[in-house]
């Protein structure tokens, strides 16, 4: 795999006509896509999170979302398990974990999948995996079918159901406008505990592995998001089992677009072969009819002969 990739990059390097060859090589089975190199991500170290909700407050501010009735300093909000909504791109939940003193906190937001389910599901290409790593949404083409919400395995996108004429899908953008300007995402900037780290995804994976190695026994030996659903740009490191803090461990490693690609690949075959098959059946039934008619005529003919 790596050889063919290197070879492919070599062809691209040869430029111009070389890329034509490169493309056909790429199309010839065993395609492999690594995603955008140097794309950004965020590492969330759950062991460091204290549930102060500063990230929520910062997110609300930089994204100009409506300010909730209960202030961000109100810790009672954490007593109830919440999910992202059209008014909150990110929420922090509190979990009691058996065998551990004190609660654990986990921040939820869009995980910015390497191969996003929302983008695969969207029939107007409103979602896009950008080279920064962020998965962005373009409300100007959105029809509002909400298939993205069905598709998202992390249950992130929310909808403005109470908006009568301009409802939008709402979700974290990894502060795409800010990171393209070189600023930190709101939540990362707002976190007082350094539980959130922005960096190149590849570097973050190294950092996470280094932390697991450095503090034996502290962390679960798994980086959530490294392989889940084909990998996400938001990564999680935890000192408690992921399933205990509401993170699904049964999502598998298959990127979302591959879940439907089998069914979709049959579509052109049906369009190409079904008419041939159906016309064949038509020809057979028509032929039968003609033979039947001929036999009928013949029978009638021989009978008239006998009569004579």
The footprint of another protein on residues 273-292 (CB under 8 A) is 274-276, 278-279, 281-283, 285-286, 288-290
Q: Which of residues 138-197 bind another protein (CB under 8 A)?
A: 141-147, 149-151, 153, 155, 157-168
Binding mask 199-238 for another protein (x = CB under 8 A): ----------------------------------------
Closest CB 125 distance from another protein, rounded Å: 4
Q: Which of 116, 186, 190, 225 binds another protein (CB under 8 A)?
A: 116
Closest CB 298 distance from another protein, rounded Å: 16
The residue among 45 and 115 lying less far from another protein, judged by its C-beta, is: 115
Nearest alpha carbon to residue 156 among 121, 202, 204: 121
303 binds another protein (CB under 8 A): no
Closest CB 18 distance from another protein, rounded Å: 9
The residue among 169 and 204 lying less far from another protein, judged by its C-beta, is: 169
Q: Under a CB-based contact definition with an 8 Å cutoff, are residues 44 and 92 in contact?
A: no
- Quote the Cα angle for 229-12-30, to 5°: 40
Q: Under a CB-based contact definition with an 8 Å cutoff, are residues 157 and 172 in contact?
A: no
Taking CB under 8 A as the binding criterion, the range among 97-105, 108-116, 174-182, 202-210 that sits at the site for another protein is: 108-116
Closest CB 37 distance from another protein, rounded Å: 8
Binding mask 86-105 for another protein (x = CB under 8 A): x-------------------
84 binds another protein (CB under 8 A): yes
255 binds another protein (CB under 8 A): yes
Concatenating the DSSP letter of every residue in the chain gives -HHHHHHHHHHHHH-TTHHHHHHHHHHSS-------TT-EEEEEEGGG-----HHHHHHHHHTTPPPPSS-TT-GGGGGS-----SS-S-EEEEE--TTSSS-EEEEE----BSS-HHHHH-TT--EEE-TTS-EEE-TTT-----HHHHH-TT---EE-TT-SSS--EE---TTHHHHHTTPPPHHHHH-TT--EEEEEHHHHHHHHHHHHHHSTTTS-S--BTSSGGG-BSEEEE-SS-GGGGT--S-S-S--HHHHHHHHHHHHHHHHHHHHHHHHHHHHHHHHHHHHHHHHHHHHHHHHHHHH-
Closest CB 214 distance from another protein, rounded Å: 32
Q: Which of 14, 20, 299, 300 binds another protein (CB under 8 A)?
A: 20
Q: How many residues form the binding site for another protein (CB under 8 A)?
A: 87
Taking CB under 8 A as the binding criterion, the range among 44-52, 101-109, 115-123, 212-220 that sits at the site for another protein is: 115-123
The residue among 20 and 299 lying less far from another protein, judged by its C-beta, is: 20
Residue 272 C-alpha from the chain's centroid: 30
Q: Which of 42, 46, 55, 115 binds another protein (CB under 8 A)?
A: 115
83 binds another protein (CB under 8 A): yes
Closest CB 161 distance from another protein, rounded Å: 4
Closest CB 232 distance from another protein, rounded Å: 13
The residue among 114 and 235 lying less far from another protein, judged by its C-beta, is: 114
Residue 203 C-alpha from the chain's centroid: 21
């Amino acid at each position: 795999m790596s050889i063919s990739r290197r070879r492919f990059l070599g062809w691209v390097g040869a430029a111009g006509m070389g890329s034509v060859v490169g493309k056909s090589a790429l199309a010839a089975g065993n395609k492999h896509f690594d995603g955008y190199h140097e794309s950004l991500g965020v590492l969330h170290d759950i062991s460091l999170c204290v549930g102060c909700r500063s990230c929520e407050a910062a997110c609300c501010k930089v994204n100009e979302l409506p300010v909730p009735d209960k202030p961000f300093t109100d810790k009672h909000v954490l007593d109830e398990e919440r999910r992202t909504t059209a008014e909150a791109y990110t929420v922090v939940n509190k979990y009691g974990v058996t065998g551990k003193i004190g609660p654990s906190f986990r921040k939820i937001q869009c995980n910015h999948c390497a191969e996003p389910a929302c983008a695969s599901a969207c029939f107007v290409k409103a979602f896009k995996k950008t080279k920064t790593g962020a998965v962005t949404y373009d409300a100007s083409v959105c029809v509002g079918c909400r298939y993205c919400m069905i598709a998202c395995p992390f249950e992130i996108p929310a909808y403005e159901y109470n908006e009568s004429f301009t409802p939008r899908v709402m979700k974290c953008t990894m502060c795409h406008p800010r990171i393209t300007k070189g600023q930190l995402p709101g939540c990362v900037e707002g976190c007082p505990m350094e539980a959130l780290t922005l960096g190149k995804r590849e570097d973050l994976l190294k950092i996470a592995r280094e932390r697991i190695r450095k503090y034996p026994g502290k962390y679960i030996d798994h980086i959530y998001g490294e392989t889940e659903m084909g990998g996400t740009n938001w990564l999680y490191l935890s000192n408690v089992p992921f399933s205990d803090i509401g993170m699904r461990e049964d999502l598998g490693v298959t990127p979302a677009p591959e879940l439907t690609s089998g069914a979709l690949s049959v579509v052109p075959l049906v369009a190409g072969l079904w008419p041939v098959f159906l016309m064949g059946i038509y020809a057979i039934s028509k032929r039968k009819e003609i033979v039947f008619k001929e036999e009928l005529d013949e029978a009638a003919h021989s009978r008239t002969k006998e009569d004579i």
